[in-house]
Amino acid sequence: MNSISTPRLQVMWNRLLAVVEEQGQALIRAAFSPIVRESGDISAGIFDIQGRMLAQAVTGTPGHINTMAEAVKNLLERFAIQDMQPGDIYMTNDPWLASGHLNDFLLLQPVFHKASVVGFTSCTTHLADLGGLGMGPDGSDVFDEGLMIPPCKLVDAGEVNALLMDIVRANSREPIGCEGDTYALIACCETGAQRLAGMMVEFGIDDLTVLADYIIDTSRRGTLEAIAEVPKGTYRHQIDVDGYEKPITLAAILTVADDHILLDYQGTSGCSPKGINVPLNYATAYSVFALRCIIGADIPNNAGSLEPFRVTGPKGCILNAQPPVPVAMRHSLGQMTPDLVYGCLAQALPDKVPAEGASCLYDVPLRHAPETARDGGQAFALELVFNGGTGARPSKDGLSATAFPSGVWGSQVEPTEAVAPVLITRRELRVDSGGVGKHQGGHGQHIEIATTGEDDILAFLSVERVLFGAQGRHGAEPGLKGRIRVGHDGMDLPSKGTVRIPPGKPLILETPGGGGFGDPAQREPAKIRRDLAEGTISEETARTHYAAALKGTSS
């Protein structure tokens, strides 16, 4: 084992990445719910015997991937390796142990090779409904939000825990989808375990120790080299976000040292009585992801590259929420932390950090109104995701209708309409929504969703950027704020709360644009003319904001 050459270790590392990607694709292809199979709201990973993440699937969200990296350790503290047997799979959806809210199931399977545990496969995905008040922000505590499953055996030596599956089905408004997605998670773990064991046979190795140490040491070393290029110091920043009943301040202190980076949420507002609070594991996942996008971005994400980044915050602040506060919509503020972090990092690396973006997904859980099921109407639970624009980059425009930092794909029209009584009647880019600048912010979307039946449907809103738009950098303008209403003549709605959609009146979502980067007067005239031709900016915007850039050219 100790004589494995570096080139051979690199080949094995690459093979491991292929294995974990197949693992992730198994989950997507077997899943029932559109948010899994169409939007890729998942994670999949391979871990060594110590519970260190060695590789992750490319498809997945930082909120699932980076929380999974810690959740495996949490489960290994509860289940002894010597008690494990082939075919065992463990699971939990405890928000503070897994990935931040009840709707995510996290699974862990030991991998056996020559009758010994050599590592683990793990995966996470979002389930559409687990009872309670539903996937919305209006719970008063986590017990309002659905079914909590403590760490337990989902599969015992190949036998699925039938009672647990009965409990899951009995607590869901979408029992078939929840059951199907749970079996997809099982298939994901089993695929990874089979492929990992097969890889070890192919390469003639009995354990993963040498390969794991090589992956983690190489990644840690590369990350420390990248940190060394960041100017040392302490940087502070804060942003205001919509919140629920009132705006909330997110604050951060970023300290760059020789061998680590420490992020502290000191100064952040306290918890909300509504379900927008964020467990520290989820806030950490997105904050560290944001840092890694700038610092050592070419280094694979694993235990070695994650180790130098440390995150803390006062217990009870909204980014370090403590049980049993409600956390169902923890994505709303958790996905805003990259903009918070970038406000700090831009002080150290002003030419490398993008402008603020829409950031928070326009995640819209939908379901039947309570009276519908009582009256014999169609019962359903569905979760749609839509994206705004990303912030402009130091050398490029932002991306339109693109999820950053979550990375999920936007809900597709046809699959959505096929599984629920809803119709997406309009979906297009939102003109002039990207912040103007030398590099323009990405544009948001205009989406209209209507019910196809005679019954009302409910939408559970928990989005951001309705009160505070994405700010530009270095003289650029902010992106357009989000806007929500029911019916074309309806009043503008707040960013959070339960909304009733009656027949004949669509829910209208206008997602935010990203902030611009750099002086608008320096924008290339050819890009302005292109945007005009494509209809993403108006003639008025060209005259008002880009007149200096167009001066002396043929418009």
- What is the number of helices (H) and of strands (E) in the chain? 15, 19
> What's the pLDDT at 399?
98
Predicted confidence (pLDDT) per residue in 432-462, tens digit = 999 999 999 999 999 999 999 889 999 999 9
Region 305-325: what's the mean pLDDT?
A: 98
The pTM of the full predicted model, rounded to 2 decimals, is 0.96
On the CB side of 471, how many CA atoms lie within 13 Å of its CA?
15
**Which of 82, 94, 101, 105 is CA-nearest to residue 188?**
105
Average pLDDT over the chain, rounded to whole?
Answer: 96
Residue 1's pLDDT band (cuts 50, 70, 90): very low
Residue in this structure with the two tokens 């008063």, named with its chain if needed: 140
Task: Provide the Cα torsion 290, 57, 214, 9; round to 10°.
Answer: -140
pLDDT at 95 exceeding the cut of 80: yes
529 — alpha (psi -120 to 50), left (phi > 0) or beta?
alpha
- Residue 334 vs residues 37, 114, 405: alpha-carbon distances, Å: 23, 42, 10
Predicted confidence (pLDDT) per residue in 495-552, tens digit = 999 999 999 999 999 999 999 999 999 999 999 999 999 999 999 999 999 999 888 6
| Contact indicator for 240, 468 with CB cutoff of 8 Å | yes
Q: Is the peptide bond before 405 cis (omega within 30 degrees of 0)?
A: yes
Cross-strand bridge partners of residue 366: 382, 459
Predicted confidence (pLDDT) per residue in 459-505, tens digit = 999 999 999 999 999 999 999 999 999 999 999 999 999 999 999 99
Strands 362-368 and 381-386 turn out to be antiparallel
Q: Is 410 exposed, middle or buried (0-12, 13-18, 19+ CB in 10 A)?
A: buried
> What's the pLDDT at 405?
97
What string of DSSP letters covers 375-405?
TT----EEEEEE--PPPPPSSSPPPTT--SS
Q: Cα(531)–Cα(550) distance, rounded to whole angstroms?
A: 13
Q: Cα(362)–Cα(372) distance, rounded to whole angstroms?
A: 25
What string of DSSP letters covers 138-168?
--SSGGGG-----SEEEEETTEE-HHHHHHH
- Helix, coil or strand: residue 221: helix
> What's the pLDDT at 453?
86
- Helix, coil or strand: residue 176: helix
| Contact indicator for 441, 357 with CB cutoff of 8 Å | yes
> What's the pLDDT at 357?
98
CB atoms within 10 A of CB 15: 17
| Contact indicator for 60, 24 with CB cutoff of 8 Å | yes
